[in-house]
A and B are shown apart, each in its own frame.
Chain A
Amino acid sequence: MPLLEVTDVNKVFPGVRALDGVTFALQPGEVHALVGENGAGKSTLIKLLTGVYQPDGGELRYRDEPARFATPMDAQRAGISTIYQEVNLVPLMSVAHNLFLGREPRSAFGLVDEKRMVREASEILVRYGVTTDVRRPLGTMALGAQQMVALARAVMVDAKVVIMDEPTSSLEPREVETLFGVIRDLHARGIGIVYVSHRLDELYQICDAVTILRDGKVVHTGRLAELERIRLVSLMLGRDMSAVRREGFTGFAGDHTGAADAPPVLKVTGLSSRHRLHDISFAVRPGEVVGLGGLLGAGRSETIKAIGGAYPVDAGEIEVGGKTLKNPTPVRAVQAGIAVQPEDRKAEGIVAGLSIRENIALAVLPRMARLGLVSDRKIDKIVDTYMTRLRIKASGPDQRVGDLSGGNQQKVLLARLLATQPRVLLLDEPTRGIDVGAKAEVQALIDELAADGLGVVLVSSDAEELVEGADRVVVLRDGAVVGELTGTNVTTEALLETIAAAAVSSEEPHDN
């Protein structure tokens, strides 16, 4: 009898069907992996289970009774605890206060019994490998230890179900071991665990069952041990292993290896960032599109951001056109000729409230300003050039970017990047969230830009897009380069195999 189950639930947001007839059951004492790419519906499902959202249809049952959680608090009180990817505690408060907030032991007159709380907090946290002074502010502890406090808090509430959303993303290998110890213990106590992670090694190490979501639907559910890694990956990405590669599926024309001998326009050597990136090296020649492959969390976006000066690195060298980029910051990176199209175009890219003209002008202002002034005519000319060249469909340059379609927004963003006259273009999911027709156009545009001699780095979760768009694909896993596909090897099958290949040392934590 399942502990927590949803049957045939739907969740519809304006314009999106986030969950479509999803059925999911968690047994007591089971560690159930929930996997899927971004937008597959994992978060929505978790939010349904924890009372953040209400289902639009279908049934939610908890401990064999129909249940309805109006708020996250309701779910928590019923015994469903959630540990979020980002630690959701109060950094300025002490560890003990965080652990006990709202449940502080009280003495006479209803006052908080500080001594008892500190003592009990220490006793509890030792079992999670946290041996610090619990009176310290939580924020002074390492992220891993904070995560452990969050876990201890979640379990303390007499939880029957613990939902973990990428709990290891900020943990060090040793802390991951501690976490797994705790999970095994919860498992033995009959607590059901929903475990969301993109790290395949971890899933196979700790999970009993798996449910794979894609495009809001369950595409597979069953015992994890019976599911091959490669099959899991192909189910997740929606690419049948035996499917024949369809030519022309995307808008990409073909290879552009015209400048095979030219010196690289971008060279990255030994890029490392604590826990996230380990010794990443690759090079891009002018006119070449290099893909970065891998699952979510493999370090693709981090790599791109690091090159763009927006992600801290501990070591490594970035060369643009043979010149080393010292102490990269976003401003220095732009000056060196690097243009980054961020993954989240709404949050980090366009300014939705401004017009097309103003958005494009943002990028060119610093370069064209004379004594801080820019002539309107010059801007109009540039805006006009890019609107024509990128085939931006709008009522005019003064239309608000927020009112454009996703594809045209993306083009405005590209126009803004190109207006800085970059030598290297870093594209993070350039076709996400835009419709099929616009997708092909953006893809064709990427082709053209490469043909014009730009070095392009392409990140895409769409295997087809990556394989057809890129001349070479550098495959990342857990923040390290695990393979490179070149020439005729650039196929979906090879990509999936490289992603899925079990790490030789999967038992050992990957230290650098």
Chain B
Amino acid sequence: MNWGSAADFFAMGGYGLYVWGSYAVTAVCIAIELVSLARRRRAAGGPS
């Protein structure tokens, strides 16, 4: 294990903003893609 505590994990050695900024945006983008796919599916008609 690399991290002494949860606080260390979130701080990422001072680079928390950059690391979590990257992964957060990735998660958001994937979520947006999946949600828009679901909506498009519903608009095309019928359940998946």
Partners in one complex: no
**B→A interface (CB under 8 Å):** none
